[in-house]
Amino acid sequence: MTEKQKILASRERLDRTLASPGLSNEDSIKSLVKNQLLRSPFPGTEGDLTNVVENRSKEVSNFIDMLRSASSGDNVSTKVSRASYGNWKIKQDTEQLRVMYREGPKGSPSIRCLQKDMQMVLSISVS
């Protein structure tokens, strides 16, 4: 398998994972976040845990939606994410990396996503 085929296979696997029911359902995401927090040393009370789970679940859900919006897939959740986050544009796509960006209103942060071997690096800059 060539390097390009490996990258394409990895991108397809990421698209399938992002479309999975476990990452499409808000309750599933909350459950995943809560289980991870319960495995870690948490110094707060049960009420604090509930607030942290709510906040982190929203952050994870937003991040997953952002990843879906940059996905090449053509499923329903990708279309919803693209409507929410706007279309990403590909600046460069080679065997080594993919550079994507999306434009926002003037003065708002623009988000750039560098993708190399399925490792995501996000940078935010204000134009």
Q: For residues 57 and 29, is the Cβ–Cβ distance under 8 A?
A: yes
The DSSP letter of residue 110 is: E
Q: What is the pLDDT of residues 5-20, one digit of tens each?
A: 887 788 788 888 888 8
User: When comparing pLDDT for 100 and 52, which is higher?
Assistant: 52
List pLDDT tens digits, range 68-117: 877 665 544 444 444 444 567 777 777 667 777 766 667 666 655 554 54
How buried is 119 (Cβ within 10 angstroms: 0-12 exposed, 13-18 middle, 19+ buried)? Answer: exposed
Residue 123: is its pLDDT beyond 60? no
Residue 100's SS3 state is strand
Which pLDDT belongs to residue 27? 92
Tally of domains within the chain: 1
pLDDT score, position 124: 52
- 42-61: average pLDDT: 83
The closest alpha carbon to 104, from 71, 81, 126, belongs to 126
Per-residue pLDDT at 127: 40
Boundaries of domain holding 88:
3-126
Query: Is the per-residue pLDDT at 30 higher than 80?
Result: yes
State residue 47's pLDDT score.
72
pLDDT of residue 73: 55
Distances (CA, A) of 44 to 4, 19, 47, 76, 105: 47, 33, 8, 38, 39
- Over residues 52-61, mean pLDDT: 90
Strands in 119-126's sheet, in edge-to-edge order, are 89-93, 98-101, 109-116, 119-126
